[in-house]
Amino acid sequence: MSELAIFGGEPTVREPARTVWPVVSEADVARVADAARRGEISYDASEGMVAELEGLFETRLDRPYALATSSGTAALHSAFFGIGLAPGDEVLAPTYTYLATVMPIVACNATPVLVDAEPDTGNIDIDDAERHVTSRTRAMVVTHLSGHPVDMERALRFARRHGLKVVEDCSQAHGAATSGAEVGTRGDVAAFSLQGRKLVAAGEGGMLVTSDTTVYERAVMLGHFAARSETEVSTPDLVPFAKLGYGLNYRMHPLGAALAIGQMERLDQYLEWRADNFRAYDQILRDTPGLAPAPRQDHVSRHGGYSYQPLYDPAQWGGLPRSVFIDALRAEGVPATVPTSLPLHREPFFSRAETGITTYPVDPDRRLYRAGDLPRSEEYVRSAWRLPAYPQPLSTRMLTGMAEAFRKIAAGAERLRRHTRAAAA
Ligand SMILES: *Cc1c(COP(=O)(O)O)cnc(C)c1O
């Protein structure tokens, strides 16, 4: 076996895979350019390309309402506003997620109660959620992290037992499915990000979907023109306020919608490409002593392919630290990484009484967290690592080079351990 690249040997992956994301077809370009030429760059109601994109979500998810927003964050804020949170309400939320899953709860003047993570997927742990239910708990938000869906059957059973609304953050899981149902079809309301890295990319944009008329109408009134709310709001309690609305602007840019229409039409193709790459990764990791494929729970009918996240156990590698394992892979030309963001309970906002917010009181009784309080989320961040979810099928050459890199590293593990011990001494 040749010398490891980290010690000066030849890298096994010589040319990094060249892939493009988002995919932009000539038809996408024409759709955007034609709209720009027509001056179709803002709408008052659900019209034109925004209406078309909303229709694609409604059809795919078989939901009566889809509302395009300016971002996934805006969709989440609209969802929490839509379910009618009140001051003092508690919302169970994953500690390990992107901040936009949780901070809009604070913007609604309700209290996020952070829940620990599953050790295999990093997703919200429903057993732990059970421990945090109080008489003030009103809702739960779940994030389908990295494209691995949350077990919605289980989440919904738990929520029904406690009378909680369920918000789904589907920003990393467009098209993923659990127990045969796509994410975004089971919760009371779901939010998708259409940011540039997401599987349906508008650049900046989001989508709220729901079957609940009141949730939808409140969301329309929060962030859309009177032209939309006056025609679409029919709930008697809301009608008197529909003309004015609630004053924010969360409308999607029509040119972003134009770009996302083609993405949405190609979503199944994207998912298949990523699934092919993930299957190849599974095989490579199965063939490497001390590694296992990225965890996939039994309820998963379709993975969203956002990110491939296996776990690293140093005990399987004679104590070799994850960082050295990753450095050795990177030296071979395999662009492996580790998660960079901490669980939210490790952020000062969740550990200090003072928040910097002066406009409204942040719940004075909320829990302030310390390191180690939600230990499995911290363990997940310590053990997870990532292979990039290449958006196009990887070449045989790239996959062969990657497989060779893992074989070399497994064979050179003892040398890596000696080197690590020497560097530490
Ligand atoms: C990207 C993302 C968001 C926020 O979306 P924006 O469109 O960037 O506002 C929210 N939640 C998760 C899990 C995300 O990955």
Residues at CB less than 6 angstroms from ligand 1: 71-73, 97-98, 100-101, 143, 169, 171-172, 193, 195, 206
Active site residues: 198
């989001």: which residue's tokens?
Answer: 206
Q: 319-330, pLDDT tens digit by residue?
A: 999 999 999 999
**Which is the closest atom of ligand 1 to the Cα of 74?**
9
Q: What is the CA radius of gyration of the chain?
A: 23
Spatial distance between the Cα atoms of 94 and 32, rounded to a whole number of angstroms:
37
| Confidence at 145, pLDDT banded by 50, 70, 90 | very high
Tell whether the model's pLDDT for residue 332 goes beyond 80: yes
Q: What is the Å distance from ligand 1's center to 411 Cα?
A: 40
Tell whether the model's pLDDT for residue 424 goes beyond 90: no
- Helix, strand, coil shares of the chain, percent, nearest 5, are 40, 15, 45
Spatial distance between the Cα atoms of 173 and 274, rounded to a whole number of angstroms:
12
Tell whether the model's pLDDT for residue 171 goes beyond 70: yes
Tell whether the model's pLDDT for residue 236 goes beyond 90: yes
Instruction: Note the pLDDT of residue 196.
Output: 96
Q: What is the Å distance from ligand 1's center to 199 Cα?
A: 12
Tell whether the model's pLDDT for residue 161 goes beyond 70: yes
Q: What is the Å distance from ligand 1's center to 105 Cα?
A: 14
Tokens at residue 52, please?
Answer: 């078309």
Could you tell me which of 300, 296, 269, 258 has the C-alpha nearest to residue 68?
258
* Residue nearest to ligand 1 atom 5, measured at CA: 72
Q: Tell me, what DSSP letter sits at residue 174?
A: T
Spatial distance between the Cα atoms of 334 and 340, rounded to a whole number of angstroms:
18
CATH 3.90.1150.10 applies to domain 5-19+267-341+375-424: yes
Q: What is the Å distance from ligand 1's center to 106 Cα?
A: 16
Spatial distance between the Cα atoms of 335 and 16, rounded to a whole number of angstroms:
8
Could you tell me which of 151, 140, 144 has the C-alpha nearest to residue 114?
140
Q: What's this model's pTM, rounded to 2 decimal places?
A: 0.97
| Confidence at 148, pLDDT banded by 50, 70, 90 | very high
**Which is the closest atom of ligand 1 to the Cα of 306?**
15
Tokens at residue 400, please?
Answer: 């062969």
Report the b/e string of 209-246 with b at 16+ CB within 10 A.
bbebebbbbbbbbbbbeeebbbebbeeeebeeebeebb
Find the mean pLDDT for residues 259-263.
97
CB 401 within 8 A of CB 138: no
Calculate what percentage of the chain has a pLDDT beyond 90: 95
Spatial distance between the Cα atoms of 180 and 299, rounded to a whole number of angstroms:
8
Tell whether the model's pLDDT for residue 229 goes beyond 90: yes
Instruction: Note the pLDDT of residue 16.
Output: 81
- Indicate the SS3 state at residue 209: strand
Number of Cβ atoms within 10 Å of the Cβ of 22: 21
Tokens at residue 7, please?
Answer: 């010690």
Spatial distance between the Cα atoms of 299 and 144, rounded to a whole number of angstroms:
13
Give the start-to-end residue ranges of the domains of the chain: 5-19+267-341+375-424, 26-266
Mean pLDDT of the chain: 96
Find the mean pLDDT for residues 143-162.
98
Give me the architecture of the 26-266 domain, per CATH: 3-Layer(aba) Sandwich (3.40)
CB 252 within 8 A of CB 205: yes
One DSSP character per residue, 46-88 reads: S-HHHHHHHHHHHHHHT-SEEEEESSHHHHHHHHHHHTT--TT
Tell whether the model's pLDDT for residue 412 goes beyond 90: yes
| Confidence at 1, pLDDT banded by 50, 70, 90 | low
Probe residue for ligand 1, chosen from 167, 171, 251 as the CB with the greatest number of ligand atoms within 8 Å: 171
Amino acid symbol at 139? A
Spatial distance between the Cα atoms of 342 and 340, rounded to a whole number of angstroms:
7
Q: Across the beta sheet with 181-182, what order do the strands follow?
A: 181-182, 177-178, 300-302
| Confidence at 225, pLDDT banded by 50, 70, 90 | confident
* Residue nearest to ligand 1 atom 10, measured at CA: 100
Tell whether the model's pLDDT for residue 389 goes beyond 70: yes
Q: What is the Å distance from ligand 1's center to 270 Cα?
A: 19
Q: What is the Å distance from ligand 1's center to 122 Cα?
A: 16
Calculate what percentage of the chain has a pLDDT beyond 70: 100
Probe residue for ligand 1, chosen from 70, 73, 174 as the CB with the greatest number of ligand atoms within 8 Å: 73
Q: Are 5-19+267-341+375-424 and 26-266 in the same CATH fold? A: no
Q: What is the Å distance from ligand 1's center to 257 Cα?
A: 17
